[in-house]
Amino acid sequence: MFIIDVKDKKIGLLKLDHNDAIIYQRKDDFNMDSSKKHKHTDDWKKLGVIKNYLTSKKKTDDHQFFKKIIKEVAGFDFLLIASHGKGSANEGENLEAYMDKHCKHLSEKIVGHIATHNHRTENELLSEADTFLNFRW
């Protein structure tokens, strides 16, 4: 896939853990002023946060949380998931498995995963998302 193929497409980033999900959308209308230091937060718009108020480890709680997330990300053409952990502790992988089972058409929009355990700031996360997308396209 080439960058021309994603022009005018909605690209989303979902930062996800057990407590909340933060949704970003990639802007395609930004202008980079070469005289100023570029911030990746200028390239992404934070759309909102979904809180997981259920703190037990029951799968039914995950279903409620995942349903809220799916409702919010359904409009994206491409979705990048940022999460941490391994196996059943990785909420991003759990969400993708849930999507595979319950709404396959949305799981097909996932273009990849990035790990969040090394990120200290929002700008670092968005920078890594941009790097991933630049290599992808």
Give the span between the Cα atoms of 75 and 89, in whole angstroms. Answer: 27
Per-residue pLDDT band for 121 (boundaries 50, 70, 90) equals confident
Find the helix or strand (DSSP H, E) in which 44 lies.
Answer: strand 44-51
**Verdict on whether the full-model pTM lies above 0.85:** no
pLDDT average, residue stretch 56-77: 82
| Residue 40: per-residue pLDDT | 65
Per-residue pLDDT band for 118 (boundaries 50, 70, 90) equals confident
**Are the C-beta atoms of 40 and 75 separated by less than 8 Å?**
no
- The rounded percent of the chain whose pLDDT value lies above 70 is 76
> Does residue 104 or residue 6 have the better pLDDT?
104
Q: Single out the residue of 72, 70, 79, 77 nearest to residue 8, CA to CA.
A: 77
